[in-house]
Structure 1
Amino acid sequence: MKKLSTTLIAVVIAFLLGMAAFWGFSRDRSPELSTEEQSTILLQQVRKVMKLVTVEGDIAEIFDSKQTKTYTLYLPLPTPIAFVKEAAVEVSGKVLVGYDLEEVRLDIDEESRTLRISNLPEPEVLAIDHQVKFKHVKESWWNVFSSDDYSKLNERAKARLHDKALESHLVEEARQQGNGLIETIELLAKASGFTVEVEGREKERIVEGEN
């Protein structure tokens, strides 16, 4: 019996020592974290572009978005209950304004030493690099913001910057810069013995003279 007790005590001590060693080993080693990332690159379309940026401007705005979803409960009379979700959105970005030159035509007449420029476009917003911050978001139990809602708010924010740019002085400044570029081309052509004819320029000068 005494020998059995000694053996049992030895087994218990060995078990406790093993647990202590395992506990110390676990504490000394930090857990290993495994992170997996997958990236898919989609090349949808590659094309050559000819765009001339003449003006860039920084625009910022804060706007509110509110959507109400109404349910009718019969208690027993029809009782409308409204659930509202709203957000205050701050959007800021850099707007590039200039000309899309893909349709511009340049015709050179060597005999008359004339360079003819036609199909000149009007200045437009070429690109917008924007950032969106959600300053305040409030949701209801039955009306919450989804990922699609955030995507639409992002698109709406970019569209508002586009509209603000068209309402600002950026387009007129881009037009003036474009006219200055044409004058530079005229000077360079003149130095080479060429005359520049710009489609619509003579008509504009006549209108300006009448005013």
Structure 2
Amino acid sequence: MLRRLLIFIGLILAVVLMFKYCEFKKEDDSTTIDSAGLIQQQILNVGKLIVTEGHFAEVVTYKNKEKYLMGIVSFDKKAVIVVNAEVTVAYDLHKMKYDIDEANKTISIVYIPKEEIKINPDIKIYDVEQSRLNPFTGDDYNKINKSVKANLAKKIEKSSLKSNAQNRLISELSKLLITTSNLGWTLKYEGKVIKSDVELDQQIKL
């Protein structure tokens, strides 16, 4: 009788331990799934449009001379051009491409889109001087518009607008770096393991 009781108790303990083991395995599995899910969620959070705005202003003088009779007679036209331009530098991270390797707990950023620069100038023309033989035409306005945008493009290159936009890009991608590090994953960009914001910044600027 005692032997049967001990065998019965042993069976109950074995069943209890088996259930405990199964629950432990389920908890382990759910942890793995949660890690991948958190990585995916962070990518969704990072995948947005980053826009950095700037304002530029300039005043230029447009001049043109039409010559007649082998340059003996000329007719001038000129105008003062006042330009106020809104400029945006944007990174559309919806276009970012990546690979997730759950087995090796690695996320690889394959492609980061180039910055998109948009120039929206407000051009006003003042103090117009022209003659009947050299009036302002549509061609003049096209030249003015083209010249204004070319000058603004040079100013943007010399300004901090693009570097500020890139800093915002690094800041967004750093959130992904923090998440992967905290979960024990590895972040790569173009095949190189990224361990810090500095390395991320250096790789993107290459």
Do the two structures share a fold, i.e. TM-score over 0.5? yes
Partner secondary structure for residue 103 of structure 2:
coil
Aligned residues of 1:51 and 1:98 also touching (Cα < 8 A)? no
Q: Which residue of 2 aligns with 1:84?
A: 76
1:161 maps to which of 119, 135, 152: 152
Amino acid in structure 1 at the alignment position of 2:100: I
> Which stretches in structure 2 are left out of the alignment for 5+ residues?
1-46
Cα deviation 1:45-99 (Å, max 9, x = unaligned): xxxxx98334211111111111111111xxxxx6611111111111112111133
Structure-to-structure mapping, 1:55-66, within 5 angstroms: 55-66=52-63
Change (3 A) 1:85 1:201: farther
Scaled by the length of structure 1, the TM-score of the pair is 0.61
Structure with the higher fraction of residues in helix conformation: 2
Partner secondary structure for residue 72 of structure 2:
strand
Whole-angstrom distance in 2 between the partners of 1:130 and 1:106? 36
Change (3 A) 1:56 1:200: farther
- Distance apart, 1:190 and its partner CA: 3.7
Cα deviation 1:131-174 (Å, max 9, x = unaligned): 11112211123111012322332233233222211211111111
2:98 maps to which of 97, 106, 111: 106
Scaled by the length of structure 2, the TM-score of the pair is 0.62
Q: Which residue of 2 aligns with 1:129?
A: 120
Whole-angstrom distance in 1 between the partners of 2:183 and 2:193? 22
Q: How many residues in Structure 1 have an aligned counterpart in Structure 2? A: 153
Amino acid in structure 2 at the alignment position of 1:94: E
Q: Does 1:115 align with 2:107?
A: yes
Change (3 A) 1:70 1:202: farther
Partner secondary structure for residue 142 of structure 1:
coil
Whole-angstrom distance in 2 between the partners of 1:51 and 1:60? 29
1:95 maps to which of 87, 92, 98: 87
Aligned residues of 2:50 and 2:169 also touching (Cα < 8 A)? no
> Which stretches in structure 1 are left out of the alignment for 5+ residues?
1-49, 73-77
Amino acid in structure 2 at the alignment position of 1:62: V
Whole-angstrom distance in 2 between the partners of 1:105 and 1:187? 19
The share of aligned pairs that are identical, in percent, is: 31
Change (3 A) 1:201 1:82: farther
Tell me which structure has the larger Cα radius of gyration.
Answer: 1
Whole-angstrom distance in 2 between the partners of 1:113 and 1:202? 12
**CA RMSD between the two structures:** 3.1
